[in-house]
Structure 1
Amino acid sequence: MIEFTIEFCRYLLSTSPPTKARERFWLGLTVVFSLTYSLMALQKAFDSTYVVQDDARQHVFWMQRFLDPSLFPNDLIADYFQTVAPSGYTTVYRLAAGWGIDPLLFSKLLPVAIALVTTIYCFYCTLLLFPVAIAAFSSSLLLAQSFWMNFDVVSATPRAFLYPIFIAFVYYFLKRSWLGIGGAIALLGLFYPQYVFIASGLLLLQVIEVEKGSLKLCKNWQTYRFCGWGLAIAFAVMLPYALKTNVYGPVIDGSQAVNLPEFWAEGRAQFFNKNAFLFWTIGERSGILPPLLPPLIWLGVFLPFCLPRLRRSRDRFPLVGLIQPQIRGLFLRLGCSSLGMFVAAHLFLFKLHLPNRYIEHTWRFLLAIASGIFIAILWDAALKLKVEKHQLWGRMAAIGLAIALLGYPIYTPSFPRTNYRPGRLPELYSFFQQQPKNIAIASLSGEANNLPTFSHRSILVGREYAIPYHLGYYRQFSQRIRDLIEAQYTPELSVVKQFIDRYRVNFWLVERSAFSPEYLENQGWLHQYQPQTQQAIADLRSSEATVKVPVVAAAIDRCRVFESGDFVVLDARCIVGNPSLE
């Protein structure tokens, strides 16, 4: 029995080309690990009643309208994010809402399915390029670890759908499936249109071949037909975007953005950096390198450089012969397509969205596949060392690789990184839920960012929603913030009344500690709204000497309708109708 068990384990762990049984085993193990990682994320998602993923606060809150169309009436923020949401993404949530599933709940469950589909497609993509099941398992595991260390998939926002759809596109591209690539390109256009350019670039470059160091056009007519079909689908998908007029346009350009503090350090959309090296390499939105990858995935960088030597030593690295010829073309063309769009996005800054979006996802996918292949080759060589004195070292190296691959979540305390934000004030959320649906809440507090999600009520402004890319939206939003800063810190009741009337404010959420110069000085994001913030700080300093306090501060004791710790909710009607606050 023991001998049978040992032989069975050797059979499963074999790095030889897969049989169906061995392939099913490694695919099943891939699914198990994918679900395990997802369950780890779900634990954080349901840690308390009020929990929301950071990016989902922007993209999901307005979808409560699918369950109750009367929510967020005439809400600038909700209308804007609904307008810019891709149609495929909106449709998925609308269908879920049609089944009575709350959008916030759905956003927590959806990453499980997205992660599972992504890892399965990655598994089969790797098999097409290198038919060794343990390599496919390693690639899928590394990719899963990679996207659970960033916030794309867990956010359940449009970019989460990119992973399964784009990897499906690559799979059908390798299979030369006309229907498959057509469907994948169409889905890319519906969920993440930017990557239609990457897919189109890959198709275009398919007609260019490298032969004896020179470039030449492909002579295979079927290749032209296949690529033409894909490009026709891409054109049809992108045409509506080209013809569509955004009511919140135009999109800001680089020459405008470089002069705005919003795009510099501490700005809401930090992009520029005075350090050119950091800007081009690891800039969050501008850099060419993806953030926070599992260390082992960088092994894939060395595969292209090591392949010639590995091929010369096939007796020691026999699996090298199983690498399929199309892998070189795929990696080169996909890399060139992504790099080309990365450069184009920098040249036409913000017109093509953010530059790093075109390359970081490609990096993760290609590195995961290359690393999985390299790990399998090294693992096989280490376990098949024939010299007895080297066998122990080989087995230790193989075990070390396995520990590095499987143990990453154990020796990485932050895994999985989810950026789930717990709500700290459930009583506050309940209070606003009991108010009419058409109320407007004014607040400079960070807690205001949670109110649309947890209370389903409109806020005037919030840092989370200060997205400066569409000028038609941001000009209105920016003016609201400036007016709110001025109104919250002015000692003139007439200014406060004018603000309340203009924006039809019903409630004002403030912190008692907000009426000190230090509070505003520590609110870095407000510093981009000048001169109002600086004037407010100056007024607060002068009020300490003159004892002339802001109207809103004076209203705390007279007009509060709710209080929890440092947070106080004021009735705007009380402020307007109380002349003694002057």
Structure 2
Amino acid sequence: MQTKNSYFLDLTPLRELMLSRTFWFSLSIVFSILYSILFLQIAFGSEYSIQDDARRSIVWMMRFSDSELFPDDFLMNYYQWATPSALASLYKLMSMVGINAILFNKLVPIALGLISTIYCYRVSLQILPVPLAGFISTLFLNQNLWLKDDLGSGTPRGFLYPLFLAFIYYLLRSSTIPCLLSLILLAFFYPPSVLVASGVLVLRLFSWNNQRLRLTTDRKEIVFCIVSLLVVFLILLTYLFKSSDYGAMVSLAEARNLSEFGQDGKIGFFHREPLTFWTCNDYSGFFPRDWCIFNPFKRKFFLLPPQILLGLALPIILYYRSHFSLVERITSARFILPQILLSSLAFYLISHAVLFKLYLPQRYTEHSLRIVFAIAGGIALSMLIDKLLEWGGKKTIASGITIIIFLLLQVAMIYSYLPILYFNRTRSLLLTGLMVIQVLGLVYFVGRDRKKTLPAREVCLSRVFLTYIMLIVIAVSALLYPLSLKKYYFFPKVSYITGKEPELYQFLAKQPKDSLVASLSLEGDNIPSFALRPVFVHRDSLEPYNLLFYEKLRQRYIDLIEAQYSPDLTAVQNFIQKNNIRFWLLDRSAFSPDYPIDKVGLQSFGSVTSDAVERLQAGTPLVLSQLSKSCSVVESKNIILLDASCILDAKNPVR
């Protein structure tokens, strides 16, 4: 019978706990729910709140609950055209059971996170059947997902994670029908990822044997690959021949001539710094933007999160397989990870070669990298923990030395998380160096197993005590890592917009459903979401991917700027009548000389914007400025809402 002390010194139960499927799977679900609760606190923290991308991709679906909303609206019709049919069908189904699109958009991320967690856990166990590895993989995945707003957006990119992981899981299980079904759903929800999945199918037909590339002789695999590729091809054809009133995708030559694609533009695709362009730049870079820390060198500074470095350590651990007992349990399913990376890299390069024909290059790498490195990092860390526990039961010099070194590195790593918040060059370099040393040093020392033994009385307590301390440090580092980035990435990052003008929304919501609001104010972008009324222009939609749509919207902005800053009453009235404007929303500071009209996303309109700025600075009497008091129907500290009919009835207000 063991005493309390002997039980404490026996690390065998901890190694056995690593194999408890129920415990680690349950813990995986718990953390997924925990992160979802943090998300829900933000999503339902205000009566007027909505995810940023949902303002475009989701709000139009409120038509499913009320078909009279946004009648023949130019912007909403475009959003409807751009939304994948599968996503629209799902939201329509929810509307039929009484859950409107905006509410469902706040609830669906919970389900997406749980499904992603379940499939990530299962994929990890297909590679290494150790439940601890599954838990760590899901923990890393959830942290990666909630450091970006993909999952919380409830848009197509939020659905790709559960669908892609489901595809990988069923592919590894050779479950033909579920695998094909998940592939079809992936094609309908997020086409870029289905190309990566198709590349994986092709790569799995080949193997490297005896220094030669060989094609599989398994007829079943070949037939399944051909059928899957054919199905994907037919689905993608529907996108290719999809009718459009909004113009073709912008070409490379056209994009180079548009200021929005320049480094300082709204999209910022063509970055002047080549290293940034190919690594961390939004849309063009290979790596997810949230893997990069901003600007210690007056340029973007590349830095990987700790779990990513653990993923990079996995090949090293596999190379020193004789020193890690868990490597014997790893299966041939591990090859799925490099296959995903190769497929992603291939389509990333192809997308760059045919720029914008396959949309944006980063779409082919950022999502798959998060998945691959979460799983690889979880497997690597579980192997290192197992080696640590194995050492804890030995009387070797190597174990004590390694534990002390790793302990010091872990403490230094946790302490150095804080400098990230201050973007200090020296500390950021220190953090990077510590993390690299942590992984390389750990693998090196763990791989060595010296045979010199120490007396038991000198080893037992110190060895086991340090082992427990080290496990605690590892757990704290893994679990609390997102908190160290909270002020930098706002974990969980969900990009929710909170409306600050409830009186405005309530007033407009009572107006006829076709009441069109003209506004250059950023608050105008919130009106469709919170008042369910159409707007003449929408700032976030000024992205020139479909040029015909962009030119029409751009012309709307030009007409609106000219009218808002016009000294001619007739011109303003003609604008209202031509576009059937019912209300005009103004920032209270819209006519002050320092109003940043040329610095809030409208600087690309050339002379129209500069003319408006000149009139403001010259103090030219403007029509709307003179009518802002007599025609006001709603006022607050920041905005003024004008009744367009009042403007139409006005007579020569400018003197």
TM-score range, shorter chain: over 0.9
Residue 133 (structure 2) pairs with residue 135 (structure 1)? yes
Q: Which residue in the other structure is 1:248 paired with?
A: 246
Q: Cα deviation per residue 1:380-399 (whole Å; 9 max; x = unaligned)?
A: 11122113661354443332
How much has 1:268 moved relative to structure 2? Answer: 2.8
* Corresponding residue SS for 1:377: helix
Which residue identity lines up with residue 245 of structure 1 in the other structure?
S
Distance 1:15 1:489, change over 3 A: farther
How much has 1:144 moved relative to structure 2? Answer: 0.5
From 559, 565, 574, the equivalent of 1:498 is 574
From 48, 59, 72, the equivalent of 1:74 is 72
Whole-angstrom CA distance in 2 between matches of 1:5 and 1:189: 57
Q: Is the 8 A contact 2:598 2:610 kept in 1?
A: no
Distance 1:508 1:12, change over 3 A: farther
Q: Which residue in the other structure is 1:559 paired with?
A: 631
Alignment of 1:411-426 (within 5 A): 411-413=484-486, 414-426=490-502
Residue 309 (structure 2) pairs with residue 299 (structure 1)? yes
Q: Which residue in the other structure is 1:273 paired with?
A: 271
From 542, 560, 577, the equivalent of 1:484 is 560
Q: Is the 8 A contact 1:443 1:459 kept in 2?
A: yes
Alignment of 1:267-346 (within 5 A): 267-293=265-291, 295-313=305-323, 317-328=324-335, 330-346=336-352
From 56, 60, 63, the equivalent of 2:61 is 63
* Corresponding residue SS for 1:407: helix
How much has 1:578 moved relative to structure 2? Answer: 1.0
Q: Cα deviation per residue 1:343-388 (whole Å; 9 max; x = unaligned)?
A: 1222222221111111000100000010001000110111221136
Alignment of 1:31-46 (within 5 A): 31-46=29-44
Alignment of 1:434-473 (within 5 A): 434-473=510-549
Q: Cα deviation per residue 1:469-506 (whole Å; 9 max; x = unaligned)?
A: 11121111111011111111111122212211221111
Whole-angstrom CA distance in 2 between matches of 1:327 and 1:67: 46
Whole-angstrom CA distance in 1 between matches of 2:5 and 2:640: 70
* Count of equivalent residues: 570
Whole-angstrom CA distance in 1 between matches of 2:69 and 2:379: 51
Q: Which moved more, 1:468-477 or 1:162-171?
A: 468-477
Q: Which residue in the other structure is 2:362 paired with?
A: 356
Q: Which residue in the other structure is 1:208 paired with?
A: 206
Gaps of 5+ in 1: none
Whole-angstrom CA distance in 1 between matches of 2:537 and 2:6: 64
Distance 1:108 1:516, change over 3 A: same
From 378, 402, 406, the equivalent of 2:479 is 406
Whole-angstrom CA distance in 2 between matches of 1:197 and 1:208: 18
Q: Which residue in the other structure is 1:99 paired with?
A: 97
Distance 1:93 1:469, change over 3 A: same
Distance 1:308 1:119, change over 3 A: closer
From 559, 568, 580, the equivalent of 2:640 is 568
Q: Which moved more, 1:347-356 or 1:204-213?
A: 204-213
Distance 1:415 1:53, change over 3 A: same
Residue 398 (structure 2) pairs with residue 370 (structure 1)? no
| TM-score normalized by the length of structure 1 | 0.94
| TM-score normalized by the length of structure 2 | 0.83
Gaps of 5+ in 2: 292-303, 401-462
How much has 1:109 moved relative to structure 2? Answer: 0.8
The CA RMSD over aligned residues, in Å, is 2.1
How much has 1:71 moved relative to structure 2? Answer: 0.6
Q: Is the 8 A contact 1:158 1:192 kept in 2?
A: yes
Q: Which residue in the other structure is 2:152 paired with?
A: 154
Distance 1:554 1:239, change over 3 A: same
Q: Which residue in the other structure is 1:507 paired with?
A: 583
* Corresponding residue SS for 2:287: coil
How much has 1:512 moved relative to structure 2? Answer: 2.3
Distance 1:104 1:573, change over 3 A: same
Q: Is the 8 A contact 1:15 1:133 kept in 2?
A: no
